[in-house]
Amino acid sequence: MLWDLARAEGPEAAARAALDRIEAWADPALFIHRIPAVEVMAEAARLAAEGPMGRPLYGIPYVIKDNIDAAGLPTTAACPDFAQVAAEDAPAVARLRAAGAILLGKVNLDQFATGLVGVRSPYGTPRNAVDAACVPGGSSSGSASAVSAGIAAFSLGTDTAGSGRVPAMFQNIVGLKPSLGLVPTRGVVPACRSLDVVSIFALTVEQAATVLDALAGPDAADPYSRAAPAGWRAAGGGLPPALRVAVPEDADLLFDTAEDEALFRAALSRLEGLGAVLERVSIAPFLALARRLYDGAWVAERTSALRDMVENHPDSLHPTTRIILEGGLSRVTVDAFDDFHAVAQTRLLSRALFARFDLLAVPTAPGIPTLETLAAEPIAANSRCGTYTNFVNLLDLSALAVPSGFRADKRPAGITLIGPAFAEARLCAVGAALHHAAGLPLGATGQPTPPPPPAAGAEVGEIPLFCIGAHMSGLPLNGQVTALGGRFLRRDRTQAGYRLYALGNRPGLIRDGEGGAFIEGEVWAIPAAGIGPLLAQVPPPLGFGTVALESGPCLGFLAEPSGLVGAPEITSHGGWRAYLAAR
């Protein structure tokens, strides 16, 4: 992989390999603008002369979707008459340059990021790297093709209704859709500005998370930018031991073939194999809301961003794009408020769902259409691709698409994990394990999926906290921990000499030097700024103190002995989970 090559041999080797791969791939519809090879190699030589300097993406080649500005290069959004040379980098591109990545050029897309199939471009249709008879997926078509083909180690796309996830499934790669505002969208040609995010394509979840860490952060000049909660990170957490995953009821599931359905169910079985507890839920309200995306206020928002093109230069637009954008001119404000109220109502349901579950798992798409199928029904096939993606941006959720297998005809399928805003670390921990468990090749490269990296320990600014009761993964108060940026590190247990008592809906732990036993629990990394707010939610006789674990001393939940008078002792169970299971 280019990523490994950059690490092992340096920027010049990785850049040369990427350039050679571009020539060998020979797809004239992939790039809209290529940076000349001599300039790419000059940038690689500059980086090599400087050395890594702690840059996380040192020497790694990448491409960007051509609706994102890069200084000195034209931005076309796949519309030649719209082309304008960018005076400066979009913040996302500037941050990648600062992180040491090497830009190869700008790649094709559905015109003005309007579509999920990848064929709506006057520059042609990028070849699907996995199956040339299939659509590449859109609107980030070139971004996905370049990564799957091994031309770029990662790429930037955008995602308004699934454009960062659908192409990932169609080309057997990872697609990370970050939380709204986490990555600035200044310098990106708007589709729906209030919903747009810059998305990431990569061969592995770990790589996508590394890129997101380099990209994330507020931008004072971007009105839709927002800061992540204290302690947020893209990855680094362990796989929670009691993962609660919501899965759509059968009535809410739609598949192109029985094989697509079987591959989704196999992915769910792998989730269970990772320790997840699955529960069927209705997502009908989410699917109903999704249908408003292309039939309401957000069509008008797309048109608003491109009103001059629609009204004054309609012949410059791709025919399908023109039909969609002209439709926005007839929308009326009174209908828009119906849409806004529908979003607000459905967000209540979303918050209730994620209060009960860590994640929602859905198919990335019902199936993958062929170019022939799409030609026969261009609008219907495109809409079908967004069945499970359109609601995510409307509900302010984060999402990660990972490959889930291949049908007998060698065409790919995928599963998407969805979480609340700023749940990227949880998504990446589960997604990496799930991707590895599938045992698939990476993109179209044929290389095997590597195992997920081990969970990192607590880092600077974090405090490990030993949880022994309802704050553990999958239990009712775990949300207090995750809402403060807490991330699961590991299972652990006390040294011998502790006693556990039942205090209604939570336990009390005390140390008894003359008796007691080992007590099971979990260690979570909590941002230092969150310790006080968490303690404020803990009622007496509980509090925090130093607990002697087998791995060493750790801050943890302890009880005042005087508050345990009359409480039943449950030490013999060895932990709160075992006690709950035995009741």
**Tally of CB atoms within 10 A around 147:** 36
Residue 110 and residue 141 in contact, taking contact as beta carbons nearer than 8 Å: yes
Q: Is the pTM of this model over 0.85?
A: yes
Instruction: For residue 134, give the nearest of 373, 344, 394, 458 by alpha carbon.
Output: 373
The per-residue pLDDT for 210 is 97
- CATH code of residue 507: 3.10.490.10
Q: Do 203 and 316 fall into the same domain?
A: yes
Q: How far apart are CA 207 and CA 288, in angstroms?
A: 34
Residue 245 and residue 276 in contact, taking contact as beta carbons nearer than 8 Å: yes
Q: How far is CA 133 from CA 127, 162, 371, in A?
A: 9, 21, 6
The per-residue pLDDT for 190 is 94
Domain annotation covers residue 456 = no
The per-residue pLDDT for 238 is 79
**387, 403, 438 - which closes a domain:** 438
Domain annotation covers residue 405 = yes
Q: How far apart are CA 34 and CA 44, in angstroms?
A: 16
Tokens standing for residue 172: 């057997």
Q: Apex CA 226: angle with CA 52 and CA 345, to 5°?
A: 140
Phi/psi for 329 (5° steps) reads -70, -20
Phi/psi for 530 (5° steps) reads -95, -10
Tokens standing for residue 267: 């992915």
Tokens standing for residue 320: 């399908």
Residue 152 and residue 444 in contact, taking contact as beta carbons nearer than 8 Å: no
The SS3 of residue 384 is helix
Domain annotation covers residue 449 = no
Q: Apex CA 354: angle with CA 241 and CA 263, to 5°?
A: 65
Amino acid at 508: G
H/E stretch holding 227 = none
Q: Do 168 and 49 fall into the same domain?
A: yes
- The total number of structural domains that make up the chain: 2
H/E stretch holding 355 = helix 333-356
Pairing outcome for strands 412-420 and 359-363: antiparallel
Supply the residues annotated as catalytic: 65, 139, 163
Pairing outcome for strands 102-107 and 61-65: parallel
Q: Do 208 and 144 fall into the same domain?
A: yes
Q: How far apart are CA 437 and CA 417, in angstroms?
A: 15
Q: Do 30 and 100 fall into the same domain?
A: yes
Residue 267 and residue 415 in contact, taking contact as beta carbons nearer than 8 Å: yes
Q: Apex CA 43: angle with CA 38 and CA 47, to 5°?
A: 145
Residues 6+ apart with CB under 8 A from 318: 78, 79, 111, 120, 121, 122
Secondary structure percentages of the chain, helix, strand, coil, to 5: 35, 20, 40
Instruction: For residue 239, give the nearest of 49, 449, 487 by alpha carbon.
Output: 487
Pairing outcome for strands 174-177 and 197-202: antiparallel
Please count the residues of the chain.
583
Q: Do 353 and 500 fall into the same domain?
A: no
**388, 405, 438 - which closes a domain:** 438
Q: How far apart are CA 203 and CA 384, in angstroms?
A: 25
Domain annotation covers residue 452 = no
Amino acid at 185: T
Q: Do 388 and 473 fall into the same domain?
A: no
Q: How far is CA 118 from CA 36, 328, 364, 386, in A?
A: 25, 21, 16, 13
Residues 6+ apart with CB under 8 A from 357: 244, 245, 246, 279, 281
The per-residue pLDDT for 320 is 83
Per-residue model confidence as pLDDT tens for the chain (583 residues): 899 999 999 999 999 999 999 999 999 999 999 999 999 999 999 999 999 999 999 999 999 999 999 999 999 999 999 999 999 999 999 999 999 999 999 999 999 999 999 999 999 999 999 999 999 999 999 999 999 999 999 999 999 999 999 999 999 999 999 999 999 999 999 999 999 999 999 999 999 999 999 999 999 999 999 999 888 889 877 788 889 999 999 999 999 999 999 999 999 999 999 999 999 999 999 999 998 887 778 787 788 778 888 788 888 888 888 888 877 777 777 888 888 999 999 999 999 999 999 999 999 999 999 999 999 988 889 999 999 999 999 999 999 999 999 999 999 999 999 999 999 999 999 999 999 999 999 999 999 999 988 777 888 889 999 999 999 998 999 989 988 888 899 999 999 999 999 999 999 999 987 788 999 999 999 999 999 999 999 999 999 999 999 999 999 999 999 999 999 999 999 999 999 999 8
Domain annotation covers residue 447 = no
Instruction: For residue 166, give the nearest of 132, 139, 197 by alpha carbon.
Output: 139
DSSP 311-347: HH-GGGS-HHHHHHHHHGGG--HHHHHHHHHHHHHHH
Q: How far apart are CA 87 and CA 342, in angstroms?
A: 39
Domain housing 519: 462-582
The per-residue pLDDT for 36 is 98
H/E stretch holding 415 = strand 412-420
Domain annotation covers residue 457 = no
Residues 6+ apart with CB under 8 A from 454: none
Tokens standing for residue 446: 């044929």
The per-residue pLDDT for 401 is 98
Q: Do 396 and 485 fall into the same domain?
A: no
Q: Do 221 and 358 fall into the same domain?
A: yes
231: left (phi over 0), alpha (psi -120 to 50) or beta: left
Q: How many helices (H) and strands (E) does the chain have?
A: 20, 20
Q: Do 171 and 284 fall into the same domain?
A: yes
**Tally of CB atoms within 10 A around 370:** 17
Q: Do 187 and 302 fall into the same domain?
A: yes
**Tally of CB atoms within 10 A around 38:** 8
Q: Do 383 and 339 fall into the same domain?
A: yes
- CATH code of residue 246: 3.90.1300.10
Q: How far apart are CA 397 and CA 180, in angstroms?
A: 8
Tokens standing for residue 385: 């691709």
Q: How far apart are CA 365 and CA 138, in angstroms?
A: 12
Question: Which residue has 């990555």 as its token pair?
Answer: 183
The SS3 of residue 460 is coil
Phi/psi for 563 (5° steps) reads -85, 0
Question: Which residue has 């699917």 as its token pair?
Answer: 287
Domain annotation covers residue 451 = no
The per-residue pLDDT for 402 is 98
Domain annotation covers residue 446 = no
**406, 438, 470 - which closes a domain:** 438
Q: Do 54 and 179 fall into the same domain?
A: yes
